[in-house]
Structure 1
Amino acid sequence: MALNHRPYTFDRVVRALISMGFLWGIIWLLNYLSDALIPFAVALLLAYMMNPLVSWVQKRIKNRLAAVLISLLIVFFVLGAMAAVIIPIVVSEISHMGRLLSRLVNDTDLARRADQLLPRDIWEAVKTAAGRPEIQDFFRTDNFWKIFEAVSRRLLPGVWGLITGTASFLLGIIGLGVVALYVVFLLLDYEKVSAGWKELIPPNYREAVTGFVADFESAMSRYFRGQTAVAFMCGILFSVGFVWVGLPLGMLLGMFVGLLNMVPYLQIIGFVPAFVLAVIHALESNTDIWLVLGTTTAVFGVVQLIQDAILVPRIMGRVTGLNPAMIMLSLSIWGKLLGLLGLIIALPLTYLLLVYYRRFLASVKPASASSIDT
């Protein structure tokens, strides 16, 4: 591909401005229709994730509709089984944490030990936070749905306010039904949809756009499959390690730190809650604080060693080939541009941009060499 040396005439500038205005109009329209498009986008993502399972089932029963229904049943069964195992453990850990906080607030042996071992300002901050009514109410309940409601009120206050009314609740149920219908219809005609959208692209741009989308999908799928597997295994290892140490909320903390592994190096944030819970466990069990902090740090070190020496090389391989400095730079830039979403997709996007830049350089060099020869 040779470089374009055409002069910037008035006509060319006008065409560029019209193209930019058209692009801005598309962005505005998408933003205006976001409420209607979000259910479809969610369903499209779910269909994309479920299609490999549907295709695998279809090879054995030769009927697409039956394969879709069986795949949905498999997914619901797996999620239900996981919830049946995890939810009682989570509720038990939260209730245990509630009892510890109550003992910290009241004048008990645990509170007196904390007063003796912790610096005065830190102890006062912990005591004030533990004594807040909303914290006490959250950890005192043993009902999962009450816990879910409390978390939803804190994390999604606007959304929770919408679903508390009867009419809005019914609309929410209808919205979930619409998403489910979208998923079923998209899975039924997934091959047609994945091939048919290309015909909507103008012929002059079709090859470039479809090539970019194919490369983007390949990079994203390879990266997220590998990174999800790494994060899942690290979450299991952290949960086992924290439960072995005896930390309150050990399983929840392990799953949280494992989830942070979706973004490289972000799991370091887990040190803060882990050390706080380690101190609480040391006070509860009357164990040396430094011993508990040391074993908690050892859990982080062992899991990080397993991740770097075994999991990442075997699962991720050379998916991106980026060095640590480039990884940190890409996380900073994309995180600044797109927030949390940017942190999640930073590495595959950076890898894709580097691939296209190398292709651009490879196409420019022959053109430059031929111009020098002439």
Structure 2
Amino acid sequence: METRGLATPPEARAAQASGVSGAPPGGSPGEAPSARGVVLQGLLALGGLAALVLLVVMLGDGLNPLVLAGVGAILLWPIRAHKAGRAMLLAIGAVVAVYMVRTLAGVLAPFVGVFVLAYLLNPAVNWAERRWNVPRWASTATLTFVAVGAFAAVLLLLVPAFVGQIESLAASALGLVADFPQWVGRTSALDPLEEAGLIEREALVTDLGTFLPQQIQSVAGSLPALVGSLTKSVGALIGVVTIAALLPVVLYYSLKDYAELRDGLVKLFPRYRGDRTYLTRIAHVVGSYLRGQLTISAISALLVGIPAALFGLPFSLLLGLLAGLLNMVPSLGSILTYVFGISLMLLFGTLGDVAIVIGILAGQAIVEQSLLTPNIMSQQVGLHPVVVMLSLFVFSAFFGLVGFIIAVPMTALLASAVEAYREAFVLDIAAGEEPVIVTPEAA
């Protein structure tokens, strides 16, 4: 029968345009699920969920979070084809990943550090292989031997001296604290406050003489307990020794097979617009920043520590190492170095030592800004100083000490991402027309 000339009702045209037909998916007309079946399925789902919640409450803290995540994944697996189901599965995966990292942080930290070291040394291995045709295993073995030797030298030479200066500083600080009540009793700096009736010197000296010795005894008594808690576990000590013995082997294989390990890690990250080229940008910024900053920090430690030792300043090694470590924190690190160095000389040195340490730190800053930073830092992050300071405080609030180190490169990456998205996002509003939005996906 010819039906070409028949008109299609508006409802039918709307249904055809939206891809909806009278038959349910996978079935024929007249086979739509009944309301009773839908209600029964809903009741069964609610009953299963109630039973799961009851089991969780009964087991309490004895239930492993991984088991809960597995049960949740099983419940959501049938609806994985829907966006909501995939989103919930991804959320469960993210929570499980955070839980695993927090649980295994102590075990993973040495291996992550070794892989970061291999990441920093990989350009040297590639350069030797490309320039001099040195086999990768040979350059890897050489760099591993050098790294282990440098680490052993630090442990044998610097650590004992550093610990000795820390002990001397602690003893001197305790002595200053113990003498503080006598200083309060004889100093003339508190005379204006005493004349104004704001303080009573004798009562203040008495209170300090009672309070400070108690605090000193409390701190001194807690140190042996802390040391004992670190060494009381023979199993933990054996584990540390075993990891320390395995790290050179891990470093050798991580550096030799760096390309394969890198490709495997890259595959764990999601794609963006069909590829993972955004990881190249991240690796370039972070790698250039860390290599340059570590080199500048090491040179800065030498520029401060060696002159301080030659001039005979107290705690010269501690001052040099602290200057190198704080140099990893842009802007704020140099300010903290000045504060620490001047305070150290005022408490345990002379006014001449204060002038010397100011001159040393000023010379180090001039060398760093005029020579080291322009010639070593191959990647300039290009951030305003106010943004740098804000990023330091924000990242430190979330990640602590590590946040100070990663704040600048991560902020540079975020700024690059925002700039790229802003350039690709255009909003055109013409007179008498609807707004046209062009997103990065459509651009």
> Same fold by TM-score, threshold 0.5 exceeded?
yes
Cα gap change, 1:118/1:180 in structure 2, threshold over 3 Å: closer, same or farther?
farther
Please say if 1:174 is aligned against 2:242: yes
1:133 and 1:172 mapped to 2: Cα distance?
31
CA distance in structure 1 between the partners assigned to 2:403 and 2:107 by the alignment: 24
TM-score (norm 1): 0.69
Give 2:136's aligned amino acid: R
Q: Which has the higher contact order (CA 8 A, sep 6+)?
A: 1
For residues 277 and 133 of structure 1, do their structure 2 counterparts lie closer, same or farther at Cα, with a shift above 3 Å needed? Answer: farther
The alignment status of 1:216 with 2:287, answered yes or no, reads no
Per-residue CA shift, 1:76-129, capped at 9, x if unaligned?
33344556664676577678769978998999xxxx9999889699x989xx79
1:161 aligned partner: 229
Distance 1:56 1:269 in 2: 37
More displaced 10-residue stretch of structure 1: 208-217 or 362-371:
362-371
**Given the alignment, which residue of 195, 202, 224 partners 2:263?**
195
Q: Which amino acid aligns with 2:384?
A: N
Structure 2 match to 1:338: 399
Shift of the 103–309 alpha-carbon distance from structure 1 to 2, 3 Å rule, reads: same
SS at match of 2:302: helix
Q: Distance in 2 between matches of 1:89 and 1:373?
A: 64
| Distance in structure 1 (CA, Å) of the matches to 2:362 and 2:309 | 16
Superposition pairs for residues 285-324 of structure 1, below 5 Å? 289-316=350-377, 319-324=380-385
Alignment correspondent of 2:324: 258
Hey, what does 1:348 align to over in structure 2?
409
- Is 2:124 the counterpart of 1:46? no
Q: Give the number of the structure whose alpha-carbon radius of gyration is greater.
A: 2
Structure 2 CA distance for aligned equivalents of residues 366 and 341 of structure 1 = 39
Which runs of no fewer than 5 residues in structure 1 stay unpaired?
A: 1-10, 137-149, 283-288
User: How many residues are aligned here?
Assistant: 334
* Letter of the structure 1 residue corresponding to residue 415 of structure 2: L
Matches within 5 A, 1:127-138: none
Matched, 1:233 2:305: no
- Equivalent position amino acid for 2:140 in 1: V
Deviation at 1:219, TM superposition (A): 0.8
Matching residue within 73, 87, 103 for 2:145: 73
Matches of 2:307 and 2:239 in 1, distance apart? 43
RMSD between aligned residues = 4.5
Cα deviation, residue 313, structure 1: 3.5
Q: SS of the counterpart of 1:319?
A: coil
1:127-176 Cα shifts (integer Å, max 9, x gaps): x79x968999xxxxxxxxxxxxx9xx79x948x73544444322222223
| CA–CA distance in structure 1, aligned partners of residues 412 and 84 of structure 2 | 32
Structure 1 distance, partners of 2:372, 2:355, is 24
User: What secondary structure, in the 3-state scheme, does the structure 1 residue paired with 2:426 have?
Assistant: helix
